[in-house]
């Protein structure tokens, strides 16, 4: 087993003593031996979490490793032979390892990412067959991921479903496999009608327009509700512009002193005009928060050209004031004809059919109601963000429709990680269509952890790394070869800020005068500047930073857990000022995203300005595991680039040599323009070392590159 060199603490817990930290340690939670299941390969690991925002969602498996210095397999395309990796998994959470965005319909009507589901969650499933099939609540029994060849199914309403070939969807011809492996299995075909409710609405964004619409709908609706509840036009008649009602019917926000919060805004503990104490999730609490960004007197004006965001917010606010939910029914009741007409306009704009409101006469009330079907009920909730409208879809019939007709089935030519769940009914609603449980549970071949979310959130820590490396460097059989660090996972990831393994490792390498190199994205390396300087005085120290691009938007999308590229370049400046010759690995260069002439020139210019001595370009390399997760991220965010990646990578890890040579030439030309020559392998070195006696069998030194 790959992890047979690892073992856990015999005492189940305490960290070994190490050098005193330069900053106060993070709050340490006690071991959690019973709270979380242990990976099969680490049955006795001490499991810890830390109560600080920077480590939220991370679980650390503290183990005592049996060895630390690892030989690189001979088949690897790297110029070094030995590595040290004190961590397994990486808290940088780069998006080359993210997936699981398919929305699943929960029993309460809200969507949730498939990757975020957990056993015990209540989702919507189905029971019965044919015309008797009905929606019913069911429970998630299990949740896992697997890696398989991926296909994309496109429906007439624009829904795109990415699944394995053996996955089954419910159609008008029964359960159909997307691309069955066996001839006897029924296959999905273009023209089949899927069953379900159709594509879910795009996630809500609480923009300024949404907030303004929410305030308008809530305050004006509350004023009209006052009319309806009194049912007497002589009391606070709308035509007279009664200030206590905000004069909603006259469309003048300046009347009724709405800007003073007479409708209930800004008054602690009050909800609406009833004087009822506010509760958690109350729309008036939301409204008070929105007033920080949107002046109330402006929000209460009817906009000349309302945006979609305004309509979504207006309906949410109106529902908070005069709305009512009953199973699938959503209705608005008011004594103000103008207000009800605005509600109808908003529903129409968002594509939600509604019944014509009852005419309001003599102080009576009218009602606007959307169609009583599951599609309308869900779409209203998803578009408006209303979360206090109880949904009960139990017993509602499952239907097929032309909008759910299959229009395309495409083999993506990629192997992707595909999540799945098992439920009490054997099915669930994935992005609006009925989907069948059909995957076998997948177990990661390393640690019983997957290569996606687990890689980002479950970190194995070899807490005895400092002790081990001293023992191994002192062994008579050790040749003194150069050791590469940061080639698998970053040794200066966030976890290093807590565990401080690198100071002991660097001190051991210094004391044994053993050459080493470090490749990192982490600015935490500056903490160990003194140790690096001391080591460089007695041996060879090669330091490299990875900076593939400067674009903040791309960085936030794919490397959000790392320091920003400009912070990394600031670290390059500080290390250069300290006397180190820093090489920058311009990696990864992402085809279609950061391989333009503009991106390359801007990045090389910034690298040169930071004082780097060399720049080495490296197009994206997709190893197994990273390949699948990056592909999943790409197909969910930039599906237009998927064909290009198929052409470049096929079934391999590297792009074609022609593409690599083109990128290298373009980076080299940019480097010359900005006065930055490319160092030959091994040229960039540390502070000049003092003469040393020859070390037997010293391996040749070459500039560090990344897989």
Tell me the average pLDDT across 482-498.
87
Closest CA to 197 of 382, 378, 380, 420: 378
How far is residue 106's CA from residue 104's CA, in Å, rounded to a whole number? Answer: 6
Q: Of residues 645 and 23, which shows the higher confidence score?
A: 645
E strand or H helix at 87, and its extent? strand 87-88
| Band of pLDDT at residue 146, cut at 50, 70 and 90 | low
Q: What's the alpha-carbon Rg for the chain, to the nearest Å? A: 31
Give the tokens for residue 341.
């007409």
DSSP type of residue 271: B
| Band of pLDDT at residue 90, cut at 50, 70 and 90 | low
Q: Of residues 359 and 568, which shows the higher confidence score?
A: 568
Q: What is the pLDDT of residue 44?
A: 64
Q: What is the pLDDT of residues 408-428, one digit of tens each?
A: 998 888 777 777 777 778 789
Q: What percent of the chain has pLDDT over 90?
A: 30
Residue 629 pLDDT more than 80? no
How far is residue 289's CA from residue 629's CA, in Å, rounded to a whole number? Answer: 38
Packing angle, helices 642-649 and 626-637, rounded to 10 = 150
- Reading across the β-sheet that carries 82-84, which strands appear in turn? 69-71, 82-84, 483-485, 516-520, 541-546, 582-589, 614-619
Tell me the average pLDDT across 292-312.
85
Q: What is the pLDDT of residue 575?
A: 96
Q: Of residues 521 and 19, which shows the higher confidence score?
A: 521
Residue 129 pLDDT more than 80? no
Question: Are 519 and 486 in contact, with CB atoms under 8 Å apart?
Answer: yes
φ, ψ of residue 26 in degrees (nearest 5): -70, 150
Residue 637 pLDDT more than 70? yes
Helix-strand-coil split of the chain, %, nearest 5 = 30, 25, 45
Closest CA to 681 of 34, 279, 79: 79
The pTM for the full model equals 0.45
DSSP sequence for 418-477: EEEEEETTSEEEETTEEEE--PPP---TTTS--SSHHHHHEEEEETTHHHHHHHHHTSTT
Give the tokens for residue 516.
């080493």
Q: What is the pLDDT of residue 624?
A: 62
φ, ψ of residue 379 in degrees (nearest 5): -65, -40
Alpha-carbon distances of 199 from 162, 164, 366, 706, rounded to whole Å: 14, 20, 32, 41
- Same fold for the pair 6-94+462-673 and 208-384: no
Alpha-carbon distances of 307 from 4, 208, 213, 313, 341, rounded to whole Å: 60, 11, 9, 10, 17
How far is residue 502's CA from residue 465's CA, in Å, rounded to a whole number? Answer: 9
Angle at 498 between CA 495 and CA 503, to 5 degrees: 95
Q: What is the pLDDT of residues 657-672, one digit of tens each?
A: 899 999 999 999 999 9
Q: Of residues 382 and 691, which shows the higher confidence score?
A: 382
544: Cβ contacts below 8 Å, ≥ 6 apart: 517, 518, 519, 520, 582, 583, 584, 585, 703, 704
Q: What is the pLDDT of residue 604?
A: 96
Residue 279 pLDDT more than 80? no
E strand or H helix at 671, and its extent? helix 657-673
Q: Of residues 402 and 630, which shows the higher confidence score?
A: 402
| Band of pLDDT at residue 356, cut at 50, 70 and 90 | low
Residue 440 pLDDT more than 60? no
Q: What is the pLDDT of residue 245?
A: 36
Residue 620 pLDDT more than 80? yes
Question: Are 703 and 683 in contact, with CB atoms under 8 Å apart?
Answer: yes
Closest CA to 486 of 92, 46, 6, 28: 92
Q: What is the pLDDT of residue 698?
A: 38
Q: What is the pLDDT of residue 595?
A: 95
Residue 75 pLDDT more than 70? no
Q: Is 612 exposed, middle or buried (0-12, 13-18, 19+ CB in 10 A)?
A: buried
Closest CA to 616 of 586, 641, 638, 639: 586
Closest CA to 559 of 571, 573, 547, 574: 547
Q: b vs e for 675-707, b when ≥16 Cβ sit within 10 Å of the residue's Cβ? A: ebebbeeeebbbbebeeeeeeeeebebbbbbbb
Tell me the average pLDDT across 603-632.
85
Backbone CA torsion sign across 318, 343, 313, 253: negative
Give the tokens for residue 222.
């509350």
Which of 163-167, 276-280, 530-534 comes out lowest in average pLDDT? Answer: 276-280
Closest CA to 131 of 397, 393, 373: 397
Q: What is the pLDDT of residue 694?
A: 47
Q: Of residues 23 and 624, which shows the higher confidence score?
A: 624
φ, ψ of residue 345 in degrees (nearest 5): -60, -45
Q: What is the pLDDT of residue 677?
A: 59
How far is residue 624's CA from residue 489's CA, in Å, rounded to a whole number? Answer: 15
Q: What percent of the chain has pLDDT over 70?
A: 71
Residue 386 pLDDT more than 90? no
Query: Residue 143: how many CA atoms within 13 Å on its side-chain side?
Result: 17
Q: What is the pLDDT of residue 265?
A: 52
Q: What is the pLDDT of residue 490?
A: 85
Domain at 100-196+398-436, CATH class: mainly beta
Alpha-carbon distances of 689 from 25, 82, 510, 704, rounded to whole Å: 35, 22, 12, 19
How far is residue 328's CA from residue 369's CA, in Å, rounded to a whole number? Answer: 11
Tell me the average pLDDT across 96-111.
70
289: Cβ contacts below 8 Å, ≥ 6 apart: none
Q: What is the pLDDT of residue 168?
A: 85
Which of 203-207, 319-323, 690-694 comes out lowest in average pLDDT? Answer: 690-694
| Band of pLDDT at residue 140, cut at 50, 70 and 90 | confident
Highest mean pLDDT (candidates 173-177, 278-282, 526-530): 526-530
Q: What is the pLDDT of residue 556?
A: 79
Domain layout of the chain by residue ranges:
6-94+462-673, 100-196+398-436, 208-384
Tell me the average pLDDT across 592-606.
95
Query: What is the third-level CATH fold of 208-384?
Result: Endonuclease I-creI (3.10.28)
Q: What is the pLDDT of residue 202?
A: 79
Question: Are 170 and 436 in contact, with CB atoms under 8 Å apart?
Answer: yes
State the architecture of 6-94+462-673 in CATH terms.
Answer: Alpha-Beta Horseshoe (3.80)
| Band of pLDDT at residue 235, cut at 50, 70 and 90 | very low
How far is residue 127's CA from residue 124's CA, in Å, rounded to a whole number? Answer: 10
Q: Of residues 684 and 458, which shows the higher confidence score?
A: 458
E strand or H helix at 113, and its extent? strand 111-113
E strand or H helix at 544, and its extent? strand 541-546
How far is residue 525's CA from residue 529's CA, in Å, rounded to a whole number? Answer: 7
Mean model confidence pLDDT for the chain: 75
């Amino acid at each position: 087993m790959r992890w047979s060199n690892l073992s856990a603490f015999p005492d189940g817990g305490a960290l070994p003593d190490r050098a005193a930290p330069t900053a106060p340690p993070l709050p340490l939670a006690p071991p959690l031996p019973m709270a979380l299941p242990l990976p099969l390969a680490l049955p006795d690991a001490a499991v810890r979490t830390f109560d600080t925002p920077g480590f939220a969602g991370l679980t650390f498996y503290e183990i005592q490793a049996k060895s630390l210095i690892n030989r690189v397999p001979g088949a690897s395309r790297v110029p070094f032979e030995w590595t040290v990796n004190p961590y397994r998994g990486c808290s940088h959470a780069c998006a080359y390892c993210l997936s699981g965005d398919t929305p699943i319909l929960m029993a309460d009507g809200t969507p949730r990412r498939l990757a975020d589901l957990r056993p015990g969650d209540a989702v919507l499933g189905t029971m019965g067959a044919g015309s008797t099939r009905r929606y019913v609540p069911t429970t998630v029994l299990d949740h896992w991921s697997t890696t398989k060849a991926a296909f994309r199914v496109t429906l007439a309403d624009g829904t795109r479903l990415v699944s394995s070939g053996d996955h089954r969807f419910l159609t008008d011809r029964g359960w159909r496999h997307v691309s069955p492996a066996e001839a006897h299995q029924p296959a999905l075909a273009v023209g089949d009608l899927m069953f379900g409710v159709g594509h879910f609405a795009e996630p809500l964004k609480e923009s300024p327009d949404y907030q303004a619409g929410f305030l308008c709908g809530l305050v004006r609706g509350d004023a009209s509700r006052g009319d309806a509840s009194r049912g007497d036009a002589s009391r606070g008649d709308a035509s007279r512009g009664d200030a206590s009602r905000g004069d909603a019917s006259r469309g003048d926000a300046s009347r009724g002193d709405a800007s003073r919060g007479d409708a209930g805004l800004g008054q602690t503990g009050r909800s609406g005009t009833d004087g009822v104490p506010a509760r958690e999730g109350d729309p008036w609490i939301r409204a008070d928060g929105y007033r920080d960004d949107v002046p109330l007197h402006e929000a209460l004006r009817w906009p000349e050209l309302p945006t979609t965001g305004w309509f979504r917010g207006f309906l949410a606010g109106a529902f908070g004031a005069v709305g009512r939910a009953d199973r699938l029914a959503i209705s608005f009741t008011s004594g103000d004809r103008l207000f009800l007409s605005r509600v109808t306009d908003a529903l129409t704009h968002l594509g939600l059919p509604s019944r014509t409101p009852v005419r309001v006469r003599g102080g009576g009330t009218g009602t606007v109601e959307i169609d009583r079907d599951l599609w309308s009920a869900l779409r209203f909730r998803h578009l408006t963000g209303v979360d206090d409208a109880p949904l009960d879809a139990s017993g509602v019939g499952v239907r097929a429709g032309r909008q759910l007709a299959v229009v395309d089935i495409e083999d993506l030519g990629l192997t992707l990680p595909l999540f799945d769940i098992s439920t009490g009914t054997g099915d669930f609603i994935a992005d609006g269509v009925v989907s069948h449980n059909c995957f076998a549970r997948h177990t990661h071949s390393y640690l019983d952890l997957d290569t996606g979310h687990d890689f980002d959130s479950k970190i194995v820590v070899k807490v005895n790394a400092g002790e081990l490396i001293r023992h191994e460097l002192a062994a008579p059989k050790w040749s003194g070869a150069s050791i590469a660090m940061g080639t698998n996972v970053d040794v200066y990831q966030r976890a290093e800020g807590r565990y401080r393994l690198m100071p002991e490792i660097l001190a051991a390498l210094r004391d044994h005068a053993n050459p080493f190199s470090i490749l990192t994205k982490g600015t935490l390396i500056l903490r160990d500047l003194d140790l690096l300087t001391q080591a460089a005085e007695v041996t060879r120290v090669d330091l490299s930073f990875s900076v593939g691009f400067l674009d903040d938007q791309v960085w936030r999308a794919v490397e959000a857990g790392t320091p920003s590229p400009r912070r990394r370049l600031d670290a390059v400046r500080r290390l250069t000022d300290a006397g180190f010759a820093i090489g920058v690995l311009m990696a990864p260069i992402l085809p279609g995203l950061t391989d333009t002439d503009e991106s390359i020139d801007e990045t090389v210019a910034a690298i040169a300005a930071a004082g780097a001595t060399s720049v080495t370009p490296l197009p994206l390399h997709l190893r197994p595991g990273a390949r699948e997760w990056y592909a999943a991220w790409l197909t969910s965010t930039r599906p237009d680039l998927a064909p290009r990646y198929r052409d470049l990578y096929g079934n391999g890890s590297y792009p074609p040599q022609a593409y690599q040579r083109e990128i290298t030439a373009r980076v080299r030309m940019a480097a010359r323009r900005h006065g930055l020559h490319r160092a030959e392998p091994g040229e960039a070195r540390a502070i000049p070392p003092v003469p040393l006696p020859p070390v037997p069998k010293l391996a040749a030194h070459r500039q560090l590159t990344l897989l």
